[in-house]
Copies of this chain bind each other. A is one copy, B any other.
Amino acid sequence: MKTRFSEINLIKELSSPRYHNLRQQFVARTFVNKALIFGPRHDDNLVYLVEKGQVRVYLAMEDREFTLSILNPGDIYSTHTSAYNSAMGDVRILTMDTMKFYSFMAEYPELSKIVIAVLGGILKQSFAIIDSLSFKDIRKRLADFILFQTDQCTADETGMVTVSLGLTMEQIAGIVGSTRQTVSTILNDMIRDGILQKTERGVLLIPDLEKLGKYR
């Protein structure tokens, strides 16, 4: 994540006299590739600055992981969330007690800008994950419905199946229990993902039935 509205390169500037007080308070820690830097809700309430390498911030649920951000040198994040933080390559971070860090924010306003940029990026990604999870049921129902319609169809020599739905978007939406707008969005996603190809009105080409069956 680039610190979009912050122009400073904090890692480069950190050695300058202006940052002497701040630098003094940081404690450096190093991690090897793939090491867990902090798990969810780490006991110590710390803020950390990535000095070297990249840190992957992600949520782990059941057997799935959702990447929230790839932090780069100069990015700042916190240990006190329900996210995992793990090293991508050899990583060196500079840690500081959160309250101490906050007291420095008045003196160095650029720190706040970095924090806000990182949080904003993670928030955007979180919204995208919520969006994707919310539509999962509808995507599955729509894929199942199209698959059901191919029952009477045979594949050509390349495995391509042609199915004529003969239904409007409104009618399909009614069948899968969604809205015209959502069905249209998901069909476009399927076309973009190569699951479907569209020819004329209401006619779909399906390159791989198995792929369609697994679509979520």
Contact = CB atoms under 8 A, between A and B. Distances in A.
Interface in A112-139: 112-113, 115-116, 119-120, 122-124, 126-127, 129-131, 133-136, 138
Nearest to A61: B134
A124 B136 CA distance: 22
Interface stretch (A102-110, A143-151, A155-163, A207-215): A102-110
| Residue among A5, A123, A129 with max Cβ neighbours from chain B (10 Å) | A123
A182 interface: yes
A102 B113 CA distance: 8
Nearest to A125: B126
B105 A106 contact: no
Interface of A: 5, 59, 61-62, 64, 66, 81-83, 99, 102, 105-106, 109, 112-113, 115-116, 119-120, 122-124, 126-127, 129-131, 133-136, 138, 178-179, 182
A115 B5 CA distance: 15
A119 B133 CA distance: 21
A126 to B, nearest CB: 4
A116 B119 contact: yes
A62 B113 contact: no
Determine chain A's interface SS by DSSP, over half rule.
Answer: helix
A62 B134 contact: yes
Contacts of A112: 105, 109, 112-113, 115-116
A131 to B, nearest CB: 6
A178 to B, nearest CB: 7
A99 to B, nearest CB: 8
Contacts of A62: 134-135, 138, 178-179, 182
Given A105-B112, A112-B113, A116-B116, 5 more contacts: A5-B102, A61-B135, A81-B123, A81-B127, A105-B109
A134 B133 contact: yes
